[in-house]
Amino acid sequence: MTRTSPAAYGIELLRGDITTDAEADAIVNAANGSLLGGGGVDGAIHRAAGPELLAECRTLGGCATGDAKITGAGRLPVRHVIHAVGPVWRGGGAGEADLLASCYRRSIELAAEAGCSVVAFPAISCGIYGYPVELAAPIAIGTVAEAMGEHREVERARFWLFGDDTYAAFGQALGSFRRGA
């Protein structure tokens, strides 16, 4: 695992497997609208959580893009999974930025309501959904910092990032945010 030191607004960047984060109270899942599992981070979280997570997700009736829903965590080392449905990249003119910000904001709201002080995030929509990471990272960092300012119960956000390009883009976004904060 690679990690940066804790940053402004309690945001830190890590490389590794989000499903092993035992410091978090909740893990955010980059879910699809069905909430019934998929590939990438979604599949990894469902596999690590076990069948209990899928059973609970089946009761939720899916989730709209830009929204999130919370469940228990099954076998994961956290209390909750927050299933955030990010947008599929369609070129930037279909409200993708607002939808991406909304799912990060809603995740922090749900975490605060559930009494979570530490939340682990993936790079939502940056995998198979095709959102350009250099555009997604500033939205993720800025929205999470703003939402944490409104929901002080959430003290730390830990972004678990996969690959050098994603880690670099989030590092640059965090650095820019810290300079501008």
Active site residues: 42
CA distance 118 to 155: 6
27 — phi, psi (to 5°)?
-110, 135
Tokens of 56: 């609970």
Contact in structure between 2 and 174 (CB atoms under 8 Å): no
Between the alpha carbon of residue 34 and those of residues 20, 53, 67, 69, 166, the distances in Å are 24, 13, 12, 11, 26
Q: Which long-range contacts (CB under 8 A, 24 or more apart) does 14-18 make?
A: 14/158, 14/159, 14/160, 14/161, 15/160, 15/161, 15/162, 15/167, 16/160, 17/44, 17/160, 18/44, 18/45, 18/120, 18/122, 18/160
CA distance 73 to 170: 26
CA distance 65 to 151: 22
